[in-house]
Amino acid sequence: MFLAWKEIKYAKTRFSLIVGVLVLVSYLVYFLTGLAFGLAQDNRTSVDKWEAQAIVLADEANSNINMSMMPQGLINDIEADEIAVLGKTASVVSRDNQTEAEQEENKISVTFFGIDSEQFIAPNIVEGEMFQEDFQVVADISIHEEFGIEIGDVLNLAGNDEQVEVVGFTDNAKFNVAPVLYTTVSTYQDVRFEAIDDSDEGRVSAFIIRDDDLNSVELDNEDLELSPISEYIEEIPGYTAQVLTFGLMIIFLIIIAAVVIGIFMYVLTVQKSSMFGVMKAQGISTKYIATSVVSQTFILSVIGVAVGLLLTMGTALVLPSTVPFAFNMYFILIITVLIVLFALLGAFFSVRTVAKIDPLEAIG
């Protein structure tokens, strides 16, 4: 370690280039990881808030809540510890106190969740209050941060003469990257143009199940399908594809980082063949020299990933709220270890070169 550090301090420019490459690669990996995790979370945060174990959809919906529609009365055909009703539909809204041109320019894509405010999937309130009547909504706080919507604002629904009033805000409530507006089931049905049938109180999209033992949940209707929440999340449109795409990009970037630093260390080792030959002639063991090369790689990789991580954290502080960026320390730790580990593996190619150096040939 002593020899490795002394050489780094002596040849600052040369090793700064290696550190610079590592900083850029690690910064890119960390940043892509933050984007991937943030985007994935924006697809599912509203689902995670349920703290549920399963979801019941219409059998013909193929695990897609957008295609699921069933009578609300089917809740009586389900046996579970806790059951909550959910109506889901996508819509576009705009603030009422704007000109027609401003409304057209400032449209907001949202997801409506029709729920019973007394059931367990009701959101926590961070500002304002829970809706008390129809056409009142509790919105995800991002709609305030990104679009300036305030409590008391009235929102117009695109393609619909109805309006809703924002009475409260919740946090971490997005579905398919769109902010969620929680409202009553009857309001949801009006937004979805679904007439209410007194016999079954209209139609809903899903029933949310909270039960620690899913084997005990019974469905007394063949038109219903039970899916664990973990499996349902994977079926959210675009979720799995996004996770796999970013995951493969990150893995390849880590491999590229290892190859790059391995090449740098190999070239440096070859350039120093004569010096290593002299050291061997003086009786310095191959093991000591090899350890110095590996230690040097370790120091450079640690410095590089540390600076890259700091740059990523600094970037996160100035990113606009519209960018879906989020840190996960578990992923950060894994990526840091992998970059350093692969860099060390790349350095072992240099170790082989050191072991093959003949003192007489190197000096000559």
The pLDDT, as a whole number, for residue 199 is: 44
Query: Which pTM was predicted?
Result: 0.78
Query: Taking the domains of the chain in order of start, what are their residue ranges?
Result: 2-44+240-363, 54-211
Nearest Cα to 173, choosing from 130, 121, 218?
Answer: 121
Residue 343 scores a pLDDT above 90: no
* Model confidence pLDDT, tens digit, residues 250-268: 888 777 777 777 777 777 7
Nearest Cα to 93, choosing from 183, 186, 171, 172?
Answer: 183
Residue 276 scores a pLDDT above 90: no
Distance, in Å, from the CA atom of 245 to the CA atom of 229, rounded to the nearest integer, reads 22
Handedness of CA 325, 326, 332, 334 (dihedral sign): negative
Residue 279 scores a pLDDT above 80: no
- Which residue is associated with the tokens 């510890």? 81
- Which tokens sit at 142? 């991002």
* Model confidence pLDDT, tens digit, residues 175-190: 988 899 999 998 998 8
E strands present in the chain: 54-58, 70-71, 78-79, 82-95, 108-115, 127-128, 136-140, 154-157, 163-170, 174-175, 178-184, 203-204, 206-210, 218-219, 224-228
